[in-house]
Amino acid sequence: MRNLAHKSVTVQGERGLAASPAVSTTKSRKRPRWLQGDMLIAILVLLPSILAVALFIYTFIGWTFYISTVRWNSQVPDYTFVGLRNWIRLFSDHRFHIDLRNLVYYAVGFMGQCIIFGFILASLLDTKIKGETLFRTIFILPFAVSGIVTGVAWRWLMQPSTGINLIFAQLGFENFQPTWNSHPQYGMWAVTIAAAWQFTGYIMALYLAALRGIPQELKEAAAIDGAGTWATYRYVIIPLLMPVTFTAIVLTGMNSIRVFDILNTMGGSGPAFATDTLAFFMYQSTFGAYRYSLGATISSFMILLSAFLIIPYLRSMRGEVER
């Protein structure tokens, strides 16, 4: 009898041992894989930031789009739904048409100067010239200056009777006295000079980091094949820098859409809205004329314009990660 009892206990113990992995497996299956280990810690750490972004960015973006569909054009809130009436009024506004034209002018001038001069400066620094650290600091220093300070400084430099015009007069060009940013035709082009002066250093840093990341073997192989400096840049370096160029286009394009501080301190919208922008139009409509629905409509339009730059950029970044 003792032997039989001992065998039964042994059999039950073996069954218990055999069943324990199944029980632990069942318990582990109750929790999804993405809620285990490092993934769970990462979610808990990022959750406050995700909630803050969802509340203070995307919630207010949705609120802005909603205000663009109501009749709130005074200090008293009015949430009467009017559909796309504010959008129709905006698209028929003459000032809005001027702002779109100014946006194109500003984007072409600003983006062109930043990308071209940023690439040239980065290429010169990539040759490891003497005093590279000093030059790199000088070129990128304007990016550390706020837009307000940049606008105030360049507003003085572009005064017809002071600043840059005094230099031209000392050089013997007394007849060359442009009015710069206050000119009704090329005022926007003049503003891009100040904005590009501030932002070119940052684009230069992007290009310089990318140039330093190109393997030296590729340049040596191009030289062995008989490629000169221009051919090496055209067929080897510039194609390899296309992702950085795309990033520079997105950054400068976003800056072109939302530009406000430099223009505001350099004279605002200028004569006949020569230097007016969508952001300045939105600011005056919302906080000057208390036309909140119009201001929200302009803001929503700027968000949609930004999406045309951000969405292709995010898709390209996703494609690079998948590759």
At residue 5, the pLDDT reads 46
Residue 276: is it exposed, middle or buried by C-beta count within 10 angstroms (0-12/13-18/19+)?
buried
**Phi, psi for 229 (deg, rounded to 5):** -65, -45
Using N-to-C axis directions, what is the helix angle for 94-126 and 242-258, rounded to 10°? 140
In this predicted structure, what is the pLDDT of residue 322?
67
CA dihedral (11, 17, 23, 29) positive or negative = negative
Could you give the CA distance from residue 63 to residue 69 in angstroms, rounded to a whole number? 10
* pLDDT for res 30: 59
Q: Decide: 197 and 190 in contact? Cβ < 8 Å.
A: no
Q: What is the pTM of this model?
A: 0.81
Q: What are the pLDDT digits (tens) for 249-273? A: 999 999 999 999 898 888 878 888 8
Give the chain's length: 323
CA–CA–CA angle 197, 243, 109 (5° rounding) = 30
Which structure tokens are listed for 178? 């442009």
- Return d(Cα 139, Cα 264) in angstroms, integer: 24
User: pLDDT tens, position by position, for the chain (323 residues)?
Assistant: 445 444 444 444 444 444 444 444 444 455 666 666 677 788 888 888 989 988 888 999 999 999 999 999 888 889 999 999 999 999 999 999 999 999 999 999 999 999 999 999 999 998 888 888 899 999 999 999 888 999 999 999 988 887 888 888 888 887 888 888 888 888 899 999 999 999 999 999 999 999 999 888 888 888 888 888 888 888 889 999 998 999 999 999 999 999 998 988 888 788 888 899 999 999 999 998 999 999 999 999 999 999 988 888 888 777 766 66
Rg, C-alpha atoms of the chain: 30
Burial class (CB in 10 A: 0-12, 13-18, 19+), 180: buried
Residue 210, pLDDT score:
93
The pLDDT, as a whole number, for residue 111 is 95
Amino acid at the residue 191: V
DSSP code at position 70: B
Phi-psi region of 313 (alpha: psi -120 to 50; beta: other; left: phi over 0): alpha
How far is C-alpha 175 from the chain's CA centre? 40
How far apart are alpha carbons 17 and 268 in whole angstroms?
A: 80
CA distances from 5 to 8, 11, 12, 15, 89 (A): 5, 10, 11, 15, 93
Alpha carbon distance 105, 108 (integer Å) = 5
Q: Provide the pLDDT for residue 43.
A: 82
What are residue 70's DSSP bridge partners? 81
31 φ/ψ sector (left φ>0, alpha ψ -120 to 50, else beta): beta
Alpha-carbon distance values, 10 to 3, 4, 13, 158 (Å): 10, 10, 5, 96
